[in-house]
Amino acid sequence: MTRKSKLTDLYIWAVALTGLLVLFTNIPDFQNPRKTLDMVVLAFLVALGEMASVPFVRGRGTVSVSTPVIYTAGVLYGPAAGIWISSLATLRKKDLQLKVPLPIVLFNRGMLAICMELFAMTYRLMGGQFGGLSFPEGVVPFLVAASVYTLANAVLTSVAVSLQLQISLASVWKSNVIWLLPNLFALFPLGALMVLVAQQAGPLVLLLFYMPLLVTKYSLEKYIELRDVYNEMAAALSTAIDARDSYTHGHSERVAEYAALLAKELKLPDEQVEMIRYVALLHDVGKVGIRDSILKKQGSFTYDEYEEMKKHAEIGADILKVMKSLAKGQDWVRYHHERWDGTGFPKKLRGEEIPLGARIIACADSFDAMTTDRPYKEKMSFEEAKKELLRCSGSQFDPKVVEAMIRVIDKHILRK
């Protein structure tokens, strides 16, 4: 066992055991049958909310209305009720079926108990009253407590992810948390409203808040379905291109993977990384317009044949032009055979005149060509390809892109 994984285990168990301690030192009061029934209703609503949670389109995570219901339980029925409901009513089916490793299940339970304990402490410290949310005085303590709950949740989870995947906390925070926080903070006023409604009309009324969420869930699922169809179509199209030439089998998929890794390494925004992945998948789509006799030719090209082969970049760009969602990337396809020193085709662009997307795809494309067998040459090893990329840095390729590609090869490709 490495030091890192020992540290991860230590952390997971420390959070799990602290949380269990919090849980068992805060036993809810079950004396009053009416209150007990209300707590059961809230626990049921939280469980239902977890089932109806809506996945985020980007990255991991889901949004559900169960967190505001947990706050409702804490404020109206006291910290212990909140802690138990936060920790236990959020158990998912896969946790119960033990499809998730037990330490992780316990970590999550413990973490949620700790978060709710922090919520209750903050709420009390800010002057909030349990048993009912006073309006408007109670709203600020409530909002601050909800922020503490959310941040504690984000921090405890990010540390676990960072330790487990051995990536820096800053990068976990940047890729998984920062963009998520506004979504979660937007739920706080809704949370305050839910507490106020529940204290007037009883917890079951909170079910009404689930309706818009269910509608959102339905439309989001349709959107994801559609996006999957789109992905499959793009993948099918790229396979069709590669299938025309048995030597390039899987070429487009690999170029898409390398280009996306490269774009990420160059710290481009997530949307651009996705766009580069799609466009790279289709970078050779223009080969549909090239005759088989040229495409499948084993020997070297005549001048005319080479001129015709070159046309695939322009044809591909024209195909992308008519695809509304990919039109922005048409120039990346058009210029994926340009060279940094201005000796490429079709326009002999040089340096930064070549769009960055095209420079990225060019590097990914050549790296795959180097490391797979072709009729005219045997494949290079990854180490040899690294040397070749460095040799052509500043002539064929953008030096900054090559530097990033070397890091991508070391971090992702050699490790496979």
Whose Cβ is closer to Fe ion: residue 257's or residue 284's?
Answer: 284
Spatial distance between the Cα atoms of 70 and 62, rounded to a whole number of angstroms = 16
Q: What are phi and psi of 377, to 5 degrees?
A: -160, 155
Q: Which two tokens stand for residue 402?
A: 């090559």
* Dist. CA 360–CA 347, nearest whole Å: 17
Say how far apart CA 63 and CA 53 lie, in whole Å: 6
Dihedral through CA 354, CA 358, CA 364, CA 368, nearest 10? -100
Residue 313: CB minimum distance to Fe ion, A: 6
Smallest separation, CB 368 to Fe ion (Å): 7
Q: How far is the CB of 344 from Fe ion (least distance, A)?
A: 11
Give me the least distance between CB of 362 and Fe ion, in Å please: 9
Q: Which is nearer to Fe ion, 148 or 275 (CB)?
A: 275
**To the nearest whole angstrom, how small is the minimum distance from the Cβ of residue 332 to Fe ion?**
11
The answer to whether the CB of 56 falls within 8 A of the CB of 83 is no
Which tokens go with 148?
A: 């503490």
CB nearer to Fe ion: give 159 or 294: 294
Least Å distance, CB 271 to Fe ion, is: 24
Which C-beta is closer to Fe ion: that of 338 or that of 398? 338
- List interacting residues with Fe ion (CB under 5 A): 284, 365
Q: Residue 308 CB, nearest distance to Fe ion (Å)?
A: 13
Nearer to Fe ion, 154 or 280 (CB): 280
Query: Which residue's CB is nearer to Fe ion, number 35 or number 321?
Result: 321
Write phi, then psi, for 55 (nearest 5 degrees): -70, 145
Q: E strands within 87-223? A: none
If you write DSSP's letter for every residue of 227-245 in order, what string do you get? HHHHHHHHHHHHHHHHHTS
Q: Among residues 355, 139, 161, which one has the least CA distance to residue 259?
A: 355
Query: Which C-beta is closer to Fe ion: that of 265 or that of 365?
Result: 365
Cβ neighbours of residue 35 closer than 8 Å, sequence gap 6 or more: 29, 77
Sign of CA dihedral 139, 144, 149, 153: positive
Any idea which residue has 């079926």 for tokens?
97
Structure tokens at 373: 């067998």
Query: CB of 312: closest distance to Fe ion in angstroms?
Result: 6
Contact 11, 163 (CB under 8 A): yes
Nearer to Fe ion, 44 or 247 (CB): 247
